[in-house]
Amino acid sequence: MEFLGLFNYWVVIFLMMVGFYALISRGNLVKKVVGLNLFQTSVIIFYVSTGKIVGGTAPILIGDDHGVAEGAAEVLYSNPLPHVLMLTAIVVGVATMAMALALVVRIKETYGTVEDDEIQAQVLADEQREGARP
């Protein structure tokens, strides 16, 4: 049970580290954005994991068409708060990802490449040209 109780967190950390590794070791900017996306999803899984109660059910009160049934509060529900926070975080995540991808597209249009070492080489060459000019 000790193993099961922490396994979720370990997988979350593994996913987070895969995203982190993609972010710092890969030179392609799209791959970096994907890495950030992995990182973000791992955090979302972590939050939702903390809200889970084993044997609980989704936080929608038992009831019929006319409202909440009697005794609905006695049923064991999982914690709704992390769900709300993560629901909005997912939508904000895709909006910010679109922002990052737009930056990548603009970088491609300006430098003709999305590999960070080639961009760096171009920036260095530019700076040297600037320096050579009186």
Contact criterion met (CB below 8 Å) for 123 and 115: no
Contact criterion met (CB below 8 Å) for 78 and 53: yes
- Minimum separation from the CB atom of position 131 to another protein (A): 14
- Minimum separation from the CB atom of position 70 to another protein (A): 13
Buried/exposed 74-89: b ≥16 CB within 10 Å, e otherwise: eeebbeeebeeebeee
Residues 6+ apart with CB under 8 A from 122: 111, 113
122 binds another protein (CB under 8 A): yes
Q: Which of residues 54-83 bind another protein (CB under 8 A)?
A: 54-63, 65, 67-68, 73, 76-83
132 binds another protein (CB under 8 A): no
Longest Cα pair distance anywhere in the chain, in angstroms? Answer: 84
- Minimum separation from the CB atom of position 98 to another protein (A): 5
123 binds another protein (CB under 8 A): no
49 binds another protein (CB under 8 A): yes
43 binds another protein (CB under 8 A): no
Return the number of the residue (58 or 134) whose C-beta is nearest another protein: 58
